[in-house]
A = this chain, B = another copy of it.
Amino acid sequence: MTERPPHGTARPGGRTARTREAVLAAALEELGVHGYAALTVDRIAQRSGVHAATIRRRWRSVQGVIIDLLAQHSGSLPTPDTGDLRQDLHELARAIADYHASPRSRNFIEATIVAAAHNPQVSDIVRDAFTARTEQVTCIVTRAVARGELSPDVDAREVIAALSAPFYYRLLVLRGTADDRLVHTSAEAAYHAARGGVFVPPPSGP
């Protein structure tokens, strides 16, 4: 136990990987049942069957576990490819709504925002994780450009951010859950704005 490998270097499926899976799954369960406010290393230990001392040694704190959960979750967003921008945006909005539909996911998102508010390092990690997720799905926009649906000058990240923002506003600020209506309006609003040229940056001087 004195030679502790850093995250991800142990062989997959080995004890280190199994421990990580158990701890992250337990943390997510706890978030779903009791929320972030009640999340402690001891509760994660109890639910996962992994010793609290082991969790503290490897993740240091609840925040460390949240950061690792974020790493595990990023990349889980599907990227629609229907051959039609409008349809792609609707499917992406649906995927976000489906993800937000589970209390576990909602509590996890809220936990990351809370952890970010408490810690500048976590804040950077949250920003990087969401920026990377946005980047992943920008190919929806680049494909639409290739098909001639949008101007080549369009800022793809702005389109994706415009579609995503209403879901986080609903969740974090209006304290509600996403519904079919929000899927419709967020996808349609992003589509109309994109087609209307809103996300084409102004020409910059030489």
Give residues 131-155 of A contacting B (CB, 8 Å): 131
Q: How many copies does the complex hold?
A: 2
Give every chain B residue within 8 A of A81 (Cβ-Cβ).
none
Grouping DSSP codes into helix (H, G, I), strand (E, B) and loop, the A interface class, with mixed when no group exceeds half, is helix
Give residues 148-188 of A contacting B (CB, 8 Å): 158, 161-162, 164-166, 168-170, 172-176, 181, 185, 188
A173 touches B117 (CB 8 A): no
Residue among A130, A168, A198 with most chain B CB within 10 A = A198
Q: Which of B123, B172, B189, B193 contacts A175 (CB 8 A)?
A: B123
Residues of A that sit less than 8 Å from B by CB: 35-37, 110-111, 113-114, 116-119, 123-124, 126-127, 130-131, 158, 161-162, 164-166, 168-170, 172-176, 181, 185, 188-190, 192-193, 196, 198-199, 201
